[in-house]
Structure 1
Amino acid sequence: MRMRTTFTVAAGVSALALLTGCGAADMTKQASPFANAQGSKTVTLSVQSWVGAQSNVAVAQYLLEHELGYRVDTVQVDEVPAWDALSQGRVDAILEDWGHPDQEKRYVTDKKTIARAGDLGVTGHIGWFVPTYLVKQHPDITDWKNLNKYAPLFRTAESGGKGQLMDGSPSYVTNDKALVNNLKLDYQVVFAGSEAAQITQMKQFAKDKKPFLTYWYAPQWLFKKVPMTEVKLPPYKEGCDADAAEVACAYPHTPLQKYLNADFAQSGGKASAFLKKFKWTTEDQNEVSLMIADQKLSPEQAAKKWVDGHHSVWRQWLS
């Protein structure tokens, strides 16, 4: 699932949450000056635009800097370009990948320029969600077969007389246009532009108790603020999403993965060993995400607060 210029997490990631231009021109060619720097204690991390990924990077950066003495740089890159950047050594690590088997085959299996770094410890799931207050009014709305009946509830100025299915950024992993078409649903996919813009719209809908149907994903801190219920799509079966144009099934549950540049994986010393061991829970990630996105702490402040309260977790990553 899921910008591009180079900046520190403390200053840059907080700014990321305000950006809405996830589809802007790719800037991965602006390589970090620290990426793949031979013999120097520097690490460059790819940071995606959603807050959960930013939380991983914030905590990893804090520990790399304060416990291991590294200088850490970050580069914001969309999901697929991040694989190119990692392969070329423009970044050293991706800490949250939602599943790109074609990229994995190309770079891990065939070219061997990227190495697997293990599970993040978090399972991701994309789905369609409606606010729980709407489910209380219309209990059968959680079955996709009934969505056409409720399409008039979800009409907006942007949906052209159809029901609106709100997506985030076009750069995210999404099968929604194919699903709408193949399930013959009277809906129009409308992109908010970014996670931050999508959250703003959902919070406003919820404040006014208005209906909305949205592409969304877990883990995500917003569920604590806006309770939502998943709409049951046709069950996911292995291979049902192999042809992007023919998808007519739910999204899978995906154990999120970490990847390292292959050279960095071999010669990155304590930094690469630490990143391979970096593994936490959905609750850990949501705790940091909530501090960044809702409580408005800087990523560095949120990371420090989490680190101060979870010594027994992160000490294992350094051993």
Structure 2
Amino acid sequence: MKRIATCAAALAAFTFPAMAEVESQDPIRLTTHDWTGQIVNTTILKNVLEKAGYNVELVQADYIAQFAGLKTGDLHVASEIWETTGREAMDEAVATGNVVNMGEGGMIAIEEWWYPSYMEERCPGLPNWEALQDCAGEFATSETAPLGRYLGGPVTWGGFDEERVEALGLDFEVVHAGTDAALFAELESAYQREAPIVLWLYSPHWAPAKYEGKYVEFPPYSKECYEDPSHGVNPDAAYDCGKPTGPIWKVAWSGVEEKWPGAAEIIRDYTLTNEEMGAMVSAVDLDGKSIDDVAAEWMASNEAKVDGWIN
């Protein structure tokens, strides 16, 4: 799903003439994180803003910790805050008045525990989460035995997996992949060998289409489940439910709308679909194309849409 990549400051073979006079040539700093899709998304937004005449910089930042910079104005725009993992941090930041929710980014997020279909023979009862307790040993590794292993995403992604394991009394140890590339490399290796694995998988991404499998069905998410231990299957613990699903949001430092009002309007209008993102991540991760090339191809294929956002 997500892999660390470095984006060039501008596309060498793709120039964007200014469409109109802009309010300020101070750089608008867009944050990038450690997964391919987010960097693709942010690179396209950068290209759109540059075509409108704005000066734009990409700044690598931690997914959750970025909100400190967005509150102070050291960072300006984040293109992907996932309902599944970032909603609490986003709401806290917006409540300060220093960060603004810029609306939905067009994509719908799913992030949850996932297993290959071949594991259903070894763990009857899946996708029900309670089956994991009955056959945790089927997912054990030499490092976690007798506990099963759940391969989580990089720790910076959040997701409350440790809390979920404890709240539901699962005999699993959460082991975090260092990068999204490592996460999916391990999935590919296990899938080819039909080795035991349950891991963090998400959409929009190419993996749910490439691999046959299912998401684990935990007790349904509710806000109360995350906030009030008395709600849910365990009356003594929060996070005893699945992860939320929902929009992927855009957020910005509150000063963006005053300093760059034209850019703020573009950012609010800017959207991508799950299908578009899945295809672009596949082009990068599976076909070996560069992020800059994929972003430039999208710009060339969506010229009318881009001009509509600008004008």
Which range, TM-score by smaller chain? 0.7 to 0.9
Which deviates further from its counterpart, 216-225 or 282-291? 216-225
Partner of 2:244: 252
2:261 paired with 1:275: no
Q: Aligned partners of 2:136 and 2:33: how far apart in 1?
A: 33
Where 1:200 maps in the other structure, the secondary structure is helix
2:255 alignment partner in structure 1: 263
For the pair 1:96 / 2:80, whether they are aligned, the reply is yes
Residue of structure 2 equivalent to 1:108:
94
Structure 2 segments unaligned to the other structure (5+ residues) = 11-22, 230-236
Q: Deviations 1:65-95 (Å, cap 9, x if unpaired)?
A: 3x22333211111122111111112221011
The runs of 5 or more residues in structure 1 that have no matched partner are: 13-37
Between the aligned partners of 1:170 and 1:309, the Cα distance in structure 2 is 36
Q: Deviations over 1:110-157 (max 9, x none)?
A: 3x2112211101111221100123346756221111112322221112
Give the letter aligned to residue 7 of structure 2.
V
Look up the SS of the partner of 1:69 in the other structure.
coil
Q: Is the 8 A contact 1:10 1:298 kept in 2?
A: no
Aligned length: 289
Does residue 177 of structure 1 match 2:162?
yes
Deviation at 1:204, TM superposition (A): 0.8
Indicate the residue corresponding to 1:63 in structure 2.
48
TM-score normalised by the chain length of structure 2: 0.84
For residues 1-319 of structure 1, the aligned pairs below 5 Å read 9-10=7-8, 39-40=24-25, 42-65=27-50, 67-99=51-83, 100-110=86-96, 112-135=97-120, 140-242=125-227, 246-319=238-311
**Cα deviation per residue 1:40-70 (whole Å; 9 max; x = unaligned)?**
15321011212221121121122223x2233
Give the fraction of aligned pairs with identical amino acids, expressed as a percent.
24
Q: Tell me how far 1:229 sits from its aligned partner.
A: 0.7
Mapped contact 2:3–2:35 kept (Cα < 8 A):
no
Moved more, 98-107 or 175-184: 98-107
Q: CA 1:154–1:105 in 2, change beyond 3 Å: closer, same or farther?
A: closer
SS of the residue aligned with 1:296?
coil
AA partner of residue 301 (structure 1): D
Partner of 2:16 in structure 1? Answer: none
The normalised TM-score by structure 1 is: 0.82
Deviations 1:250-277 (A, max 9, x none): 1111211111111112221432221111
